[in-house]
Amino acid sequence: MPGIAAISVRELRGVGPKLAEKLAEYGIRQIEDLLFHLPLRYQDRTRITPIAAAREGIDVVIEGEVKLADVAYGKRRSLVARIQDGSGTLTLRFFHFSAAQKNNLSPGTRLRCFGQARRGSSGLEMYHPEYREVQADAHDLDESLTPVYPTTAGIGQNQWRSLCGQALLYLQRAEPRELLPVDSTQGMGLSASLIYLHSPPPDAALELLREGSHPAQLHLALEELVAHNLSLHQLRKQHQREGAPALAPAPQAITALLSEFGFPLTGAQHRVLDEISGDLAKPYPMLRLLQGDVGSGKTVVAACAALQAIANGYQVAIMAPTEILAEQHWQSFSTWLEPLNIELGWLTGRLKGKKREQTTSRIAAGQIALVVGTHALFQQDVEFARLGLVIVDEQHRFGVHQRLALTEKARPELGRAHQLVMTATPIPRTLSMVAYADLDCSIIDELPPGRQPVSTVLIDNSRREQIIARVAEACKAGRQAYWVCTLIEESDALQAQAAQAVAEQLREQLPGLAIGLIHGRLKPAEKEAAMTAFKSGQTSLLVATTVIEVGVDVPNASLMIIENPERLGLAQLHQLRGRVGRGSAASHCVLLYQTPLSANGKARLGVMRESSDGFVIAEKDLQLRGPGEVLGTRQTGLMEFRVAQLPAHAHLLDKVQSVAGAIIAHHPELIEPLIQRWTGTDSEFAKV
Q: Which is nearer to Mg ion, 329 or 519 (CB)?
A: 329
Q: Which is nearer to ligand ADP, 131 or 333 (CB)?
A: 333
Question: Is 296 an interacting residue with respect to ligand ADP (CB under 6 A)?
Answer: yes
- Of ligand ADP, Mg ion, none, which one does residue 49 interact with (CB within 5 to 8 Å by kind)? none
- What is the β-pairing status of strands 89-94 and 77-84? antiparallel
First to last CA, the chain: 33
Buried b (16+ CB within 10 A) or exposed e, 365-401: eeebbbbbbbbbbbeeebebbbbbbbbbbbbbbbbbe
CB 513 within 8 A of CB 453: no
- Of ligand ADP, Mg ion, none, which one does residue 263 interact with (CB within 5 to 8 Å by kind)? ligand ADP
Name the minimum Å distance from CB 484 to ligand ADP: 18
Question: Is 266 an interacting residue with respect to ligand ADP (CB under 6 A)?
Answer: yes
Site residues for Mg ion, 559-598, by CB under 5 A, read: none
Count the neighbouring beta carbons within 10 Å of the beta carbon of residue 685. 20
- 588 CB burial (10 A radius; 0-12, 13-18, 19+): buried
| Residues in CB range of 529: below 8 A, 6 or more apart | none
Per-residue DSSP letter, 46: S
Name the minimum Å distance from CB 297 to ligand ADP: 3
Question: Is 295 an interacting residue with respect to ligand ADP (CB under 6 A)?
Answer: yes
What Rg, from alpha-carbon coordinates, does the chain have?
30
Name the minimum Å distance from CB 81 to ligand ADP: 60
| Residues in CB range of 220: below 8 A, 6 or more apart | 38, 190, 193, 194, 197, 642, 643
Q: Which of 299, 360, 425, 676 binds Mg ion (CB under 5 A)?
A: 299
Question: Is 299 an interacting residue with respect to ligand ADP (CB under 6 A)?
Answer: yes
Name the minimum Å distance from CB 291 to ligand ADP: 10
Q: Which of 39, 297, 345, 399 binds ligand ADP (CB under 6 A)?
A: 297
Nearest to 45 by CA among 117, 139, 142, 162: 142
Q: Which is nearer to ligand ADP, 176 or 581 (CB)?
A: 581
Per-residue DSSP letter, 340: G
Count the neighbouring beta carbons within 10 Å of the beta carbon of residue 569. 18
Q: Which of 300, 318, 471, 547 binds ligand ADP (CB under 6 A)?
A: 300
Nearest to 552 by CA among 571, 584, 588, 528: 528
- Of Mg ion, ligand ADP, none, which one does residue 545 interact with (CB within 5 to 8 Å by kind)? none
CB 576 within 8 A of CB 614: no
> Which part of the chain contacts Mg ion (CB under 5 A), choosing from 109-117, 465-473, 546-554, 556-564?
546-554
Name the minimum Å distance from CB 276 to ligand ADP: 14
- Residue number of the CB closest to Mg ion reads 299
Q: Which of 260, 263, 283, 488 binds ligand ADP (CB under 6 A)?
A: 263
Whole-angstrom distance, CA of residue 119 vs CA of residue 53? 14
- Residue number of the CB closest to ligand ADP reads 297
Question: Is 320 an interacting residue with respect to ligand ADP (CB under 6 A)?
Answer: no
Binding marks (x or -) toward ligand ADP, 222..261, rule CB under 6 A?
----------------------------------------
Total number of residues that touch ligand ADP (CB under 6 A): 16
Whole-angstrom distance, CA of residue 47 vs CA of residue 44? 7
> Which part of the chain contacts ligand ADP (CB under 6 A), choosing from 73-81, 179-187, 264-272, 376-384?
264-272
Question: Is 328 an interacting residue with respect to Mg ion (CB under 5 A)?
Answer: no
CB 202 within 8 A of CB 43: no
Question: Is 310 an interacting residue with respect to ligand ADP (CB under 6 A)?
Answer: no
Interacting residues toward ligand ADP by CB under 6 A: 263, 265-266, 269, 292, 294-300, 424, 448, 553, 582
